[in-house]
Structure 1
Amino acid sequence: MTAVAVIGLGIMGGPMAANLGKAGYEVIGVRRSDSVGRAVSRADVILTVLPDSPDVEAVASGDDGIIANAKPGSVWIDSSTIRPDVSVRLAQAAAGKGIRAVDAPVSGGEAGAVDATLSVMVGGSAEDFEAAKPVLDVVGSTVVHVGPPGAGQTVKAANQLIVAGTIELVAESIVFLEAHGVDTDAAVRVLAGGLAGNRILDRKAEGMLAREFQPGFRVDLHHKDLGIVTSAARGAGVAIPLGAAVAQLMGALRQQGHGSLDHSALVLLVEQLSGRAR
């Protein structure tokens, strides 16, 4: 039985760990009070699902960290969403200790984690990807090697850019339709069936119409991710004018105290800017 140490048992990591257990893996769940070093020293595979770059660096480094304690030849899968440059640096440090590291951020939200239908974008060597793939195939339905270390995080940044922009446009469309007194349920159904159809309409529109924002992915985390996007775009000299605008809107929503809500709560900001706040 392959032992998998899962570090980060939150909205995403908890269901991923549960699915690994159902698939027959020996899951070692690592909580805040646990010794990371003791857990990873027993593991064949290490899976980290943490909020931000400093969190991953904290569990990777130091005397009780992954790099100092994982077995040579073990596989470290980082499914956190962090800065690409941090992923590259940590992968190099891990390789120096004989640890096979891949960055494998995921998309699909809590529902995808529960249903094991996540989309997983993986950066690392081809050999390390193949070593990690059996575990990733348990938690995701689309697992794709996208390039060398850090490439997975770069693709995830693009994913978060698209998702944020789409949520904003759906939010604007909902407020627009409501202002004209249209049957919004009917409108969403017909929009979802045409060229405007997208996953946000399918998964988020119902909650947006009802103004119910139980978090599948929190505003706080998407705000962090858009910071990664804007920084990486600046570093590459790429203009993202719409993305930068949505990043500002997400930040404003967070500053208004809505950081714990689902990111679809952008509709609250749109209706406020439109003078239609409830």
Structure 2
Amino acid sequence: MMADAALVLTQPPSLAPLLARGALLSPFKRPSPEAEFPRTRLVLPGLRVDLARLAAYERVCGFPTGEDALPLTYPHVLGFPLAMRLMSGRDFPLPLLGLVHTSITVTRHRGMPATGAYELAVWVEGLAAHRRGTEATVVTEVREGGDLVWESTSTYLTRHRTHHPARSPESAGPAEPAGPADPGGEEGRQPWSAVAEWRIGEDVGRRYAAASGDRNPIHLHPLTARLFGFPRAIAHGMWTVARCLAAHGAPDSCQVRAEFRAPVPLPATVTYGAEDGRFELRGRDDRLHVAGEVRRI
């Protein structure tokens, strides 16, 4: 469902004030799948990529640097400030604090040069009942010269008491608390073929935050993470997906679906596995953190 009206921006919103506004408004939100939600489509034309910031992103995520090509996940970083403007507003019914990014589907229609000029559009597609609460779907589109070159659909979950029918299990995200994985899901299957073991430093959350602008306190330091119930800082979910895709690779025209299953506490040692176009990230205790699939289109 496309948004009702377009609001054209002249520059990307600043993330810090949006995070603060969302935090202040969170206690007053009353989430429900029947709630009204913002119908505005935010549009940012003429966007050019900051190449220094892109290089920092490539380094922290493991992508090659210096190529005139955007990594598959980088448009999410470009669109994130617009999504945050929508989700931190008074008319967005889900509280920003505790909002869980549960899944993302990315479709890249063709390669995207880092030196190109792009138009971003972001809107909230709708709300839905989830067995754990209410889920919002946020769509991001990127156009070059009027042609759709990249699009994504993200689901964000806020947990609250509900009597709605069960949905598929999803439990972890890049900025948020995540409970134990649901029984009967992918958690109990045999791991895919191990490709590499990665040691993730305690500072990866701060490094990714500097490159992406996503400075949620649960990723930055154990002290700030403890304020939200985490004994240690956790890695950004979108960093885990990007790191997997940097190792996995993807054709210019492809679709990626990834689910965030459990947070990665920092520091950590994890195992990256891959099999028949699928990939996953597991902890030393065999806990499934991320599961995804890449397919050519």
Verify same fold: TM over 0.5: no
Select the structure of larger CA radius of gyration.
1
Could you state the TM-score of these two structures normalised by the residue count of structure 2?
A: 0.26
Which protein has greater RCO, CA pairs closer than 8 Å, 6+ apart?
2
Report which of the two has the higher share of helix. Answer: 1
Could you state the TM-score of these two structures normalised by the residue count of structure 1?
A: 0.27
